[in-house]
Amino acid sequence: MADARPAVALSEQPEQPPHLAKPVLWAAVLGLALLVVGAVMFAVPQRANSGAEPARNVQIVAATSEFVTQYNTYDAADLGGYRKRLDGLMTEGFAADNDKTTATYFEILKPKKQISKDPKIKSVAVEDSDSDSARVLVAVDATVSNTDLKEPALSQMR
């Protein structure tokens, strides 16, 4: 006995109107492209150094390391020698402020015969920079001795 139900072709699907096919395709392609770009931007780490070029950062780290080494190497009895070593390593404004502070600091430390030597730079990071200045984070250890200490002590500065 024959089936009484009419046969329906499964391949027959309603067609989309021709004026919608191309815009839907372009929207899908654009969406996929934006998804790929977004994924790449999310996956690639951003520079944490304010956009400074790597070569510039190398120069900043080198200059900072030289400054920090000289800044943390001193004998409180020799303010002139200390200032001479720091000459040219600071901007004029910072040098003027540092001269005042250092003179006061050395006055206090001179009777104690304080000496700081052997600075060891632990880490340097460029936080921000522009054409003539930089903000740099530094961790340094130095050996400090004075009349209050029985033995030289490690001074950790951050």
pLDDT in tens, 73-106: 999 999 999 999 989 888 888 888 989 999 999 9
pLDDT band at 50 (very low <50, low <70, confident <90, very high): very low
pLDDT band at 154 (very low <50, low <70, confident <90, very high): confident
At CB < 8 A and 24+ separation, what contacts does 45-51 make?
Answer: 49/126, 49/127, 49/128, 49/129, 50/126, 50/127, 50/128, 50/129
Q: What is the pLDDT of residues 103-131, one digit of tens each?
A: 999 999 999 999 999 999 999 999 888 88
In this predicted structure, what is the pLDDT of residue 19? 57
What CATH architecture does domain 54-157 belong to?
Roll (3.10)
In this predicted structure, what is the pLDDT of residue 36? 57
Q: Which residues contact 61 (CB under 8 A, 6 or more apart)?
A: 124, 126, 136
Determine the average pLDDT of the residues in 53-67.
88
End-to-end CA distance of the chain: 95
Identify the bridge partners of residue 137 per DSSP, sorted by sequence position. 125
Determine the average pLDDT of the residues in 124-147.
88
**What is the residue type of 137?**
L
Q: If you average pLDDT over every residue of the chain, what do you get?
A: 78
Its pTM stands at 0.63
Strands (E), 86-132: 115-129
